[in-house]
Structure 1
Amino acid sequence: MQKYDAVYPIDRPDVAIEEKLKRNLSNRHIQLIAIGGAIGTGLFMGSGKTISLAGPSILFVYMIIGVMLFFVMRAMGELLLSNLNYRSFIDFSADLLGPWAGFFTGWTYWFCWVVTGVADVIAISAYMQFWFPELAPWIPSVLCVLLLLGLNLLTVKLFGEIEFWFALIKIIAIVALVGTGLFMIVTGFTSPSGSVASLHHLWDDGGMFPMGISGFFAGFQIAVFAFVGIELVGTTAAETKDPEKNLPRAINSIPVRIIIFYVFSLIAIMSVTPWRSVVANKSPFVELFMLAGIPAAAALINFVVLSSASSSANSGVFSTSRMLFGLARGKLAPKAFGQLSSSAVPANGLLFSCLCLLVGALLVYVVPDLIEAFTLITTVSAVLFMFVWSMILASYIVYRKKRPALHEKSLYKMPGGVIMCYVCLAFFAFVLVLLSLEADTRMALMATPLWFVWLALGYFGVFRKEIAERRPGMH
């Protein structure tokens, strides 16, 4: 079997030391990056809407999505560890499915994070209005992008450190919420409306499925967006110390994280506040802390959500630059993106991604009518994340067919193997059907093919010739 060189040729003797990404992320960093990726801003701000749509059945929605994405992450983990020359899912998709797959996956993932990053930067501006209502909204947008650019230009270790603290803030907030909710349940806390905190609220009002199967299905449309970024641990593989030990550890802890951070926090919220009393357009986190008599709850949660959005924007800046680096090294993007700075950071990719963030953020303020289109594009981004997850699964299916010997040798096999890949793919198809049922998400589904048309034009018109001229060692 021919040895595979990564899309960007790393760990080869003819590649100069300064051209290599450094393995500077420790287990502490990778664990918290994985946790940060699994906890989206949607949990803090969007959980009110999901509860009002699905009632207590939303617990099963989060668990089902979490289980499916755990298998996607396990497939990704086995693939990345089957060949340490694979530095991200661009590499194994390009190797196993063909160069077109590396091109489509890499550029789609870049686009996903740029759009998500624009959303995060605008969200940061909105959250800053809480403390500084007179401040022009474009100022925090620009400052945020410049700050993230400056920090990410220094070293990858600094990225890991920033992400570590951002994720820690989110974890502390959720643990505090679960702890406060548990205390209120145990002490039989009575709210001003006369409701006594109790686990019985989960099934006393219409059972676990009070809104029927349609309400249960409606929960998937929003909840799936909360998991965007869970695959980020796969883009850090190139810069992780001891990947054979740290990558499995981070992936294996995903189920525990889903239960603690999503399920327990939602149980706490719905036990203290009966689910019919949860307001769709308010953060139930704020409401619970307010009920507990913590007057600074709004400011506290505003700080947590601000850090959550900053964490997501920071992850976006990191991952987009690494995607561009990988694509450039595989001749799937302009050559300039494949150069590293003296700190072993892909500076050109960082600058380009941050420029796109700035243009996107400023455009929304310059043309207010873009808000509706912007909502559409962020939904497109979430649909495209499902495309990336599906490409990971498709790569695994081909890997099992083409490389059975590597699978046999693997110490980190995906549970359920190929069968679970098909189950997950069927689940994503099911979610797409659900997205077609609502007017706004249906528009996003209809707009999504335009991105792939644009990519196809770029691939066949510009980069295909470059790929054909690659040296024989690459496939």
Structure 2
Amino acid sequence: MNTQPTMTKEGGPTDDNGGTSQSLGAHGSHGAPGQDGLKAGLKNRHLSMIAIGGVIGAGLFVGSGAGIAAAGPAILLSYALVGVMVVFVMRMLGEMAAARPSSGSFSAYADQALGRWAGFTIGWLYWFFWVVVLAVEATAGAKILEGWIPAVPQWGWALIVMVVLTATNLASVASYGEFEFWFAGIKVVAIGAFVVIGLLAVFGVLPGSDNPGAGLAHLTDSGGFFPMGTGAVLTGVLMVVFSFMGSEIVTLAAGESADPQRAVTKATNSVIWRIAVFYLGSIFVVLTLLRWDDKAILEKGSYVAALDSIGIPHAGQIMNVIVLTAVLSCLNSGLYTASRMAFSLGQRGDAPRAFARVNKRGVPQAAILSSVVFGFVAVFFNYKWPDTVFAFLLNSSGAVALFVWLVICVTQLRMRGMILREQPEKLVVKMWLFPYLTWATIAMITFVIGYMVFDGGDNRQQVVLSLGVAALVLVIGLVKDRVQKRSAQPEIPAQKS
């Protein structure tokens, strides 16, 4: 029995029943299963909140203090530069996803536009990235929960969190969507309230505030806007770039909605204000409430220090609740994303065929459980060998975000022509100033990767190890592709003498 997908005349792989796995608009309405078996169980409100919450990771709450300490107020430019890059990448991805909704998103598009090797490589790298993220976030959430209820050990909390969210994802895609709706909702409300209350305190109009209301003075009153030099902006870019990973999740989730094209279009159009408000807005509030070199920013965390300066009681515990919500949201989405990428790889014959099977609830059970198993193994490594084995996993997945964005850009250069030739009416979302902005974004990402190499230290290690893992996956993909092509060639009968 042939376990590899056959090809339709349009070039898309087909499933065991002859349905086109990557067909346009594959999903029926009202939760009916599409040709790829996944059920369209995500509602518009789910996708809207997934799109908004996707750009708000725990890294924004936890890691922003280090960026502020490294670049001062100029960290705003670092966030702005990365934000612009992400907006462009999301616009390109939105163009392809609106035309060809797919559970494999950019991996499926790379497969179609660049070749099987590209889809295989970037798909497995992305899966690897999120499996490692599962371990990071499970550990972070367990630390917070252990602080509240120390009777349960940290590993126990990590196990509980992983089991609960696994059950959620196994139940149905609607369960994932509902959990993510509330998780993301809490994050959005929290940051929105932080920005509004913070701005009132900044300008001295918040009743009962302990903050003197210095206006914009803190942006320049401690060594100027560039206290660490203009080069610190690039250092800041390296520190904040990975907190933006997750923006692309909505393009995978859109494949399980009744109207994928509308969902992708809406999410793509709103990415600018989401980044402006949640990232630039909240960091701006921190920098105007406190001097950038205030020791509390590193000791307590930027958001807790800002809330303390206003005089909000129990700021630390409030932020712990919000960070825990962000962690659970990231875990929930990470498991969903890893499983759907594994599902898509299975459909295309680039992963075990079992990954492409769905149960009666329209859920890819094998893909979810396999991702969870590797997640649990990574959690074990984090507890057993945090400074060796897990540090290697973490560093070797560190630059994957940049690789994914780079592949999206290169894929879009080829995919635009394919869409125009085959289905021009599907080109409802267009990349601005094509192809010039696409090439400019490629140059920006390449520059960041190169700067990481020459910056040295952990950044160089992340790029080198990530490139090593990428090369290994690429070689496996090329060998696998060559073997398949050879086995598919008909044997030429020997001529009789």
Query: TM over 0.5, yes or no?
Result: yes
What pairs up with 1:142-221 in 2 under 5 angstroms?
142-187=159-204, 196-221=213-238
Q: Distance in 2 between matches of 1:353 and 1:323?
A: 10
> What's the CA shift for 1:320?
0.9
Residue aligning to 1:43: 60
Note if 1:388 corresponds to 2:404: yes
What pairs up with 1:305-316 in 2 under 5 angstroms?
305-316=323-334
Root mean square deviation, CA, Å:
2.6
Q: Distance in 2 between matches of 1:259 and 1:7?
A: 41
Unaligned runs of 5+ in 2: 1-7, 28-32, 490-497
Aligned residue among 269, 283, 287 for 1:270:
287
> What's the CA shift for 1:229?
1.0
Residue aligning to 1:121: 138
- Normalising by structure 2, we get a TM-score of 0.87
Deviations 1:285-306 (A, max 9, x none): 1112222222221111111111
CA contact (8 A) 1:331 1:466 kept: no
> Residues 407 and 73 (structure 1 numbering): CA distance in 2 closer, same or farther, change over 3 Å?
farther
Residue aligning to 2:360: 342
What pairs up with 1:46-445 in 2 under 5 angstroms?
46-84=63-101, 88-187=105-204, 196-277=213-294, 279-367=297-385, 370-371=386-387, 374-375=390-391, 377-405=393-421, 409=425, 410-436=427-453, 437-445=455-463
Counterpart residue identity of residue 180, structure 1 = I
Residue aligning to 2:4: none
Q: Distance in 2 between matches of 1:457 and 1:97?
A: 16
CA contact (8 A) 1:407 1:413 kept: no
CA contact (8 A) 1:163 1:314 kept: yes
- Normalising by structure 1, we get a TM-score of 0.91
Q: Distance in 2 between matches of 1:71 and 1:469?
A: 41
CA contact (8 A) 1:94 1:100 kept: yes
What pairs up with 1:18-33 in 2 under 5 angstroms?
20-33=37-50
CA contact (8 A) 1:332 1:467 kept: no
CA contact (8 A) 2:129 2:400 kept: yes
Deviations 1:8-33 (A, max 9, x none): 633689xx968511122122111111
Question: Aligned to 1:183, what secondary structure does the other structure show?
Answer: helix
Question: Aligned to 1:332, what secondary structure does the other structure show?
Answer: coil
Count of residues in Structure 1 that have an aligned counterpart in Structure 2: 466
The higher-RCO structure (CA 8 Å, 6+ apart) is: 1
> What's the CA shift for 1:92?
1.4
CA contact (8 A) 1:7 1:94 kept: no
> Residues 204 and 376 (structure 1 numbering): CA distance in 2 closer, same or farther, change over 3 Å?
farther
Question: Aligned to 1:423, what secondary structure does the other structure show?
Answer: helix
Q: Distance in 1 between matches of 2:486 and 2:192?
A: 53
Could you tell me the percent identity over the aligned residues? 32
Unaligned runs of 5+ in 1: none
Counterpart residue identity of residue 416, structure 1 = L
> What's the CA shift for 1:333?
0.6
Counterpart residue identity of residue 435, structure 1 = M
Counterpart residue identity of residue 100, structure 2 = N
CA contact (8 A) 2:398 2:466 kept: no
> Residues 55 and 375 (structure 1 numbering): CA distance in 2 closer, same or farther, change over 3 Å?
farther
Aligned residue among 417, 441, 447 for 2:465:
447
Q: Distance in 1 between matches of 2:430 and 2:456?
A: 38
Q: Distance in 2 between matches of 1:152 and 1:400?
A: 34
> Residues 453 and 292 (structure 1 numbering): CA distance in 2 closer, same or farther, change over 3 Å?
same
